[in-house]
Structure 1
Amino acid sequence: MSMQVGETGDEDVPMSDINTTPLVDVMLVLLIIFLIAVPVVLQTVPVELPKVDFEPTQTKPENVNLSVRAVDGQCEVYWGLQRVDSQRLLDLAVAKLEDEIEKQGGPANVTELPEAHIRGDSATPWRCLGGAIFTMQRAGFSRVGFISEPPPRGGIRF
């Protein structure tokens, strides 16, 4: 740092200006250090995400359609149009898989199992959707997916 002493007559009056160049230099060095250090600290698993808006589903009669919503903080799950609780959902799902396996001639002849398609209301808390997914996977459904609406053509995508 430097300080210049002004000479006005007999009195020595210090100059109150600050040299900001060293301050800017230090800030730039700190900025570069943080730009280099932050990616090293944030460790993530490299994943290639899908580049599609949606994947069309094939509607098959053996697939299970669930609707999940929350009303007054309570989760509601519907099998088709019938409201079910967790235990009833598990029982229906297990029975559905057993029937499908029997139709195909037993476990050794199974070619394709039904899928579970979940239509979740956008205001539904994740715990409701997660509970339905967990129950369907616990019943033995290996493919559980979400039904969504594609964005309007020419509309804004988020």
Structure 2
Amino acid sequence: MAFSARHDQAPISGINVTPLVDVLLVLLIIFMISAPVIAHKSSLSFSSAGLPTDTTPPKPIRVAIDADGSTFWNGVLVTDATLVEQMRLAAAGTTRPVLDVAAADGASYEDVARVLAEAKVQGLAKVEFVER
């Protein structure tokens, strides 16, 4: 058993492709298994029974804040407790109304922030700032 030694110093230029073929075959099997799951489409059909037929949006509610801190709900002067109750009643409907906040030029930030925080707590997420 004699071994022959290589006498030339040229580098081996062949690439072993067996591991590459093994990886590609594994990936092919994975894609073949997962392709039907990805391509599967399902359609859902919801009945419209029980949904309200009236889709008119509710009238926006105007909350005005004066420079002295007094708050008006649709033009009527309200206290803080009344404002909270009015917001709770407005949010209890099927569609939430838009809250138009009109702050006077001299209104303090704390008064406006108090109204916005209470609107968020009551679930009135649609708030717009309008001119006084």
TM-score, length of structure 2 as denominator length: 0.52
Deviation of 1:147 after TM superposition, in Å, equals 0.3
Question: Separation in 2 of the partners of 1:83 and 1:122?
Answer: 18
Question: Gaps (5+ residues) in structure 2?
Answer: 1-56
Alignment of 1:67-86 (within 5 A): 67-71=64-68, 75-86=69-80
CA contact (8 A) 1:86 1:135 kept: no
Partner of 2:63: 66
What's the C-alpha RMSD, in Å, of the aligned pairs?
1.8
The alpha carbon displacement at 1:70 in A equals: 2.4
Match of 2:119 among 128, 136, 143: 136
- Residue of structure 1 in register with 2:106 after alignment: 123
Q: What amino acid does structure 1 have at the position aligned with 2:76?
A: Q
1:62 Cα offset (Å): 2.4
Alignment of 1:4-83 (within 5 A): 61-71=58-68, 75-83=69-77
CA contact (8 A) 2:97 2:124 kept: yes
Question: Runs of 4+ in structure 1 displaced over 4 angstroms?
Answer: none
Matched position secondary structure for 1:130: helix
Identity %: 12
Rounded Cα–Cα distance in structure 1 between residues aligned with 2:59 and 2:122: 15
Deviation at 1:148, TM superposition (A): 2.8
| Aligned 8 A contact 1:137 1:144 in 2 | no
Counterpart secondary structure, 2:131: coil
Q: Secondary structure at the match of 2:62?
A: strand
Aligned partner of residue 118 in structure 1, secondary structure:
strand
Structure 2 CA distance, aligned partners of 1:132 and 1:66?
Answer: 9
Q: Structure 1 residue 61: deviation in Å?
A: 4.9
1:91 matched to 2:88? The reply is no
Residues 67, 119 of structure 1: 8 Å contact kept: yes
SS at match of 1:132: helix
Unaligned ranges ≥5, structure 1: 1-59, 102-111, 150-158
**Residues 62 and 75 in structure 2, CA contact (< 8 A), matched pair in contact too:** no
* 3-state secondary structure, aligned to 1:78: strand
Q: Describe the SS at the equivalent of 1:92.
A: helix
Distance 1:113 1:80 in 2: 16
Instruction: Please identify the structure whose Cα radius of gyration is greater.
Output: 2
Partners in 2 of 1:120 and 1:77 — Cα distance?
9
